[in-house]
């Protein structure tokens, strides 16, 4: 434990670790651990998607998939997603290539037009949003762009702190919450049944409060036994609360990132209202890519099988990262991290006030991590402690050295300030 | 000329035409002339697009097209569009599958965030928009949804009435204009060089006025000699006015409708600003479809050759419609129409106050036309006169009877009220 070291021991260790870092610097590394991107081998898994359609394919169905129309997506693919999500066709819209885009658009529509007859959020004065932290930087970027005041809600090991949420939603200016309920970004936490149930029966002060349920990693287990997340839409129905739920997801981390299909699921009322507004915005999404996805997978179960291949590729990468963290930092007492069962990240909490410096030092040796603070609204981690580690993109052979650089940097950052 | 008929002649003719309509009704027709959709044969032209990629394709370029990123589109396809549009790569973003979506989003961003440092349009009180009429119903639906007051500007044979526009833009609350500058929807008018030049050098009262240049039919001639439209961005640069121009387009009527790629071109400043805002909204558009389009066409000239095949399919359809209009209505004096050289529509001006009734009568015989008023803001044609005829979708064999129904209906509508 570093905390027990004497001043002279610390000084000696700082010299040693700094020499290590200089040594790494001399290697001319260029490694990127910053974004949750699939790697080449994962993308290769879906190349068959490009074989299912050719010039002999029949796309001229009851409606011609090559022509305008069908704003909520083709029913064949909706069937598959309905099975995976346990929702009805009338509760689902399959959109374009990006769930982030749907989240942004859905919030923008609420800002501009209001929700189900409520006043536009733009006209409701100063409004607020609940942000479980650490969380997804791109979520926070959206609410920040719209000028919405973000309120940090601490994460527990089974989801966000529900006591705080139940208290905060009594404020009528609180209009929503970001959730990544399964294998959360970055901690890999799966919301417990109890948390999902408490969320589903929230009684917010105003009827235009929405849970933005970003189920980005709904079938993205990296272990054999996938965890079951409770269906929040079903739970919410028990309390007449189904209009409070928006569920988002995509195949970006199933097939191709940015070349997949994304969806929103919600109550029939919300979906009808969104379709009506969408029909001003577009004549329809890309049905050819939707149909290719249907032909490639045919049924929900085949997607689950496909996901096992992803897991087989990325599990060793998670293991490699965790192994180095354990070897290098477990005995130091200057860091804690989660051991995720799925998703795309490992969340590492470093000693207070050392995250920024650690990332800066790692960068000086050619290893890029997500900027410190990214996992918090306004990029402000109150403890300057959390670092999101994304193990999927780099080749597995690069991970040990990248993580050794990280650990060396974390040690130096601690020793410098202590 | 119907106007010269005696009362008894009119009465007799009304009986005769009504009998004709009853006769058509008995045929159980079910024809749709309402939307500018490509027909099956046109869609078949692009089936080769589905052959250019397969599981052996190399998509892992300098960046991997199967992964996140490259928000402004892949450079190979940008090259082709830059050639067609005569713009630079830095003046172009290739987006998703719908130019309507880009127009909507661009205006929504102006409403929410303002343009280049100007106040958000949402915060500027009541604002106005110039709408050349007749025009495109989906444009008007967007400005109506945003609560923008639409001002009709009459179309002349060479574009919108510039005297009126030059006057109206002195009003600082006028924030934009919808233009379909080539083969306009619905009249097929091509803006003359003089009109483009006058638009390009407009000096609006405020710097956040924008010309929404929906170049939907930029290469969609149906005759051998395509008309050349002046490059408005280039013209605008001569007056330091390039920030005033947004150019939109897509391949929806080149390859697949809703399965193509769309773009926006504008000044470097506007494009940079839009990219920055887009990066909150999405991580990138579908690069795989972009790359397929590149592989399929390879160069701009091949797109132009491809468009000749479209023209060969739809030209006879336009001719069939025009032939019936001429045979049935030319001598009556109750209708005028344009003879378009491109685009997707024929615009027919019926006798005052008869458009609604004509469309209602045609519908009673199973032939659907775009609802009367659609070509005007708020669905209000002050003369109840204009009908947009879309000849491309139905089989050519259906067109003569569909148009005979239309002409019979138009005659009845006139005779009923006169």
A418 pLDDT tier (thresholds 50, 70, 90): confident
Rounded to 5 degrees, what are φ and ψ at A28? Answer: 60, 40
Facing residue for B68 by CB, picked from A65, A105, A258: A258
Q: Looking at CA atoms only, how far is residue B196 from chain A in angstroms?
A: 27
Which tokens go with B62?
A: 């300098």
- A64–B104: do the CB atoms touch at under 8 Å? no
Least CA distance to B46: which residue of chain A?
A55
* Residue B256: closest CA among A288, A282, A368: A288
B64 DSSP β-pair partners: B60
Which tokens go with A408?
A: 């060396």
CA distance B126 to A139: 32
Q: Residues A132, A133, A135, A137: is their CA dihedral positive or negative?
A: positive
Contacts of B4 (CB under 8 A, 6+ apart): none
CB B180 within 8 A of CB B135: yes
Q: How far is the CA of B38 from the CAs of B127, B173, B299, in angstroms?
A: 35, 38, 23
Q: Residues B299, B300, B301, B306: is their CA dihedral positive or negative?
A: positive
State residue B407's pLDDT score.
98
State residue A163's pLDDT score.
98
What H or E segment, with its residue span, contains residue B336?
strand B335-337
State residue A283's pLDDT score.
95
State residue B258's pLDDT score.
96
Per-residue pLDDT of chain B (418 residues; tens, 9 = 90+): 999 999 999 999 999 999 999 999 999 999 999 989 999 999 999 999 999 999 999 999 889 999 999 999 999 999 999 999 999 999 999 999 999 999 999 999 999 999 999 999 999 999 999 999 999 999 999 999 999 999 999 999 999 999 999 999 999 999 999 999 999 999 999 999 999 999 999 999 999 999 999 999 999 999 988 899 999 999 999 999 999 999 999 999 999 999 999 999 999 999 999 999 999 999 999 999 999 999 999 999 999 999 999 999 999 999 999 999 999 999 999 999 999 999 999 999 999 999 999 999 999 999 999 999 999 999 999 999 999 999 999 999 999 999 999 999 999 999 999 8
Q: What is the DSSP string of A174-212?
A: EEEEEE--SS-TTT-PPPPHHHHHHHHT---SSTT-EEE
CA distance B58 to B65: 9
pLDDT one-digit tens code per residue, A249-287: 999 999 999 999 999 999 999 999 999 999 999 999 999
Q: Looking at CA atoms only, how far is residue A258 from chain B in angstroms?
A: 5
Angle at Cα A230 formed by Cα A224 and Cα A231, nearest 5°?
A: 120
- A284–B258: do the CB atoms touch at under 8 Å? yes
Name the DSSP class of B215: -
Q: Residues A201, A207, A209, A212: is their CA dihedral positive or negative?
A: positive
Which tokens go with B35?
A: 């939307």
Angle at Cα B261 formed by Cα B371 and Cα B281, nearest 5°?
A: 95
Facing residue for A96 by CB, picked from B60, B96, B142: B96
On chain B, the residues whose CB falls within 8 A of the CB of A139 are none
pLDDT of residue A66 exceeding 90:
yes
- A97–B286: do the CB atoms touch at under 8 Å? yes
Q: Looking at CA atoms only, how far is residue A265 from chain B in angstroms?
A: 19
- A288–B141: do the CB atoms touch at under 8 Å? no
Name the DSSP class of B319: H
A259-294 CB burial, b ≥16 within 10 A, e <16: bbbbbbbbbeebbebbeebbebbbbbbbbbbbbbbb
A74 pLDDT tier (thresholds 50, 70, 90): very high
Contacts of A298 (CB under 8 A, 6+ apart): A80
pLDDT of residue A412 exceeding 90:
yes
CA distance B187 to B181: 11
Bridging pattern class, strands A174-179 and A128-133? parallel
State residue A61's pLDDT score.
85
Q: Looking at CA atoms only, how far is residue B155 from chain A in angstroms?
A: 24
Angle at Cα A100 formed by Cα A127 and Cα A154, nearest 5°?
A: 55
CA distance A226 to A127: 37
Give the rounded percent of residues in chain A with a pLDDT score beyond 70: 100
Displacement of CA B31 from its chain's centroid (Å) = 22
Contacts of A242 (CB under 8 A, 6+ apart): A233, A236, A266, A267, A269
State residue B108's pLDDT score.
98
- B146–A277: do the CB atoms touch at under 8 Å? no
* Residue A218: closest CA among A165, A271, A181: A181
CA distance A92 to A272: 10
pLDDT one-digit tens code per residue, A336-395: 999 999 999 999 999 999 999 999 999 999 999 999 999 999 999 999 999 999 999 999
CA distance A18 to A364: 12
CA distance B35 to B186: 11
On chain A, the residues whose CB falls within 8 A of the CB of B252 are 68
On chain A, the residues whose CB falls within 8 A of the CB of B47 are 55-57
Rounded to 5 degrees, what are φ and ψ at B326? Answer: -65, -50
Q: Tell which phi-psi region holds residue B318, choosing left (phi > 0), alpha (psi between -120 and 50) or beta.
A: alpha
Mean pLDDT within A298-307: 98
CA distance B167 to B163: 6
Mean pLDDT of the residues in chain A = 97
Domains delineated in chain B: 2-33+304-417 (3.90.1150.10), 59-298 (3.40.640.10)
Starting at the edge strand found earlier in the chain, the sheet holding A346-350 runs A335-337, A346-350, A386-389
Contacts of B342 (CB under 8 A, 6+ apart): B182, B183, B188, B190, B217, B220, B221, B222, B223, B226, B227, B311
Displacement of CA A110 from its chain's centroid (Å) = 22
CA distance B43 to B33: 18
- B258–A285: do the CB atoms touch at under 8 Å? yes
pLDDT one-digit tens code per residue, A307-318: 999 999 999 999
* Residue in A72, A259, A274 to test binding to B, most B beta-carbons within 10 Å: A259
Q: Residues B365, B366, B370, B373: is their CA dihedral positive or negative?
A: positive
**Side-chain-facing half-sphere of A144: CA atoms under 13 Å:** 15
pLDDT of residue A224 exceeding 90:
no
* Residue A374: closest CA among A359, A352, A391, A392: A359
pLDDT of residue A86 exceeding 90:
yes
pLDDT of residue A99 exceeding 90:
yes
State residue A20's pLDDT score.
97
On chain B, the residues whose CB falls within 8 A of the CB of A114 are none
Contacts of A196 (CB under 8 A, 6+ apart): A159, A181, A229, A230, A232, A235
Q: What is the DSSP string of A103-123?
A: HHHHHHHHHHH-STTSPPGGG
Rounded to 5 degrees, what are φ and ψ at B152? Answer: -70, 135
Bridging pattern class, strands B210-214 and B174-179? parallel
Q: What is the residue whose two structure tokens read 């390879």?
A: B298
On chain A, the residues whose CB falls within 8 A of the CB of B273 are none
On chain B, the residues whose CB falls within 8 A of the CB of A53 are 50
CB A372 within 8 A of CB A356: yes
Torsion of CA A408, A411, A412, A415, to 10 degrees: -160
Which tokens go with A290?
A: 């939707």
pTM for this one? 0.97
On chain B, the residues whose CB falls within 8 A of the CB of A283 are 98, 100, 138, 257-258
CA distance B227 to B215: 13
CA distance B277 to A392: 27
State residue B253's pLDDT score.
98
């Amino acid at each position: 434990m570093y905390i027990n070291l004497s001043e002279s021991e610390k000084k000696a260790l700082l010299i040693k670790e700094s020499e290590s870092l200089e040594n790494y610097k001399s290697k001319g590394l260029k490694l990127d651990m910053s974004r949750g991107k699939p790697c080449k081998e994962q993308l290769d898994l879906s190349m068959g998607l490009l074989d299912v359609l050719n010039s002999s394919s029949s796309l001229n169905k009851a409606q011609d998939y090559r022509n305008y129309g069908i704003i909520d997506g083709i029913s064949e693919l909706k069937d598959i997603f309905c099975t995976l999500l346990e929702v009805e066709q009338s509760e689902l819209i399959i959109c374009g290539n990006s769930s982030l885009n749907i989240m942004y658009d859905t919030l923008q529509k609420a800002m501009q037009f209001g929700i189900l007859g409520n006043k536009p959020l733009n006209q409701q004065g100063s409004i607020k949003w609940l942000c479980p932290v650490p969380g997804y930087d791109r979520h926070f970027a959206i609410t920040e762009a719209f000028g919405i005041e973000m309120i940090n809600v601490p994460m527990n090991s089974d989801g966000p702190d529900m006591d705080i949420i139940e208290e905060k939603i009594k404020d009528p200016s609180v209009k929503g919450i970001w959730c990544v309920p399964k294998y959360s970004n970055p901690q890999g936490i799966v919301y417990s049944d109890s948390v999902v149930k408490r969320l589903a029966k929230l009684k917010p002060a105003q009827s235009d409060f929405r849970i933005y349920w970003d189920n980005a990693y709904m079938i993205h287990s990296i272990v054999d036994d996938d965890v079951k997340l409770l269906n929040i839409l079903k739970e919410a129905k028990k309390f007449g609360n189904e209009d409070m739920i928006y569920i988002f997801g995509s195949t970006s981390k199933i097939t191709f990132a940015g070349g997949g299909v994304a969806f929103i699921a919600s109550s029939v009322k919300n979906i009808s209202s969104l379709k009506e507004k969408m029909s001003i915005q577009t004549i329809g999404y890309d049905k050819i890519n939707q149909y290719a996805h249907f032909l490639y997978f045919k049924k929900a179960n085949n997607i689950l099988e496909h996901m096992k291949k992803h897991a087989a590729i990325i599990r060793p990468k998670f293991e490699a990262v965790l192994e180095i963290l354990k070897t290098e930092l477990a005995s130091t007492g200057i860091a804690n991290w989660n051991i995720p069962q799925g998703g795309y990240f490992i969340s590492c909490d470093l000693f207070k006030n050392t995250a920024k410096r650690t990332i800066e030092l790692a960068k000086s040796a050619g290893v890029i991590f997500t900027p410190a603070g990214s996992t918090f609204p306004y990029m402000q981690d109150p403890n300057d402690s959390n670092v999101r580690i994304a193990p999927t993109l780099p080749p597995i052979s690069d991970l040990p050295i990248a993580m050794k650089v990280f650990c060396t940097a974390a040690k130096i950052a601690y020793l410098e300030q202590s």
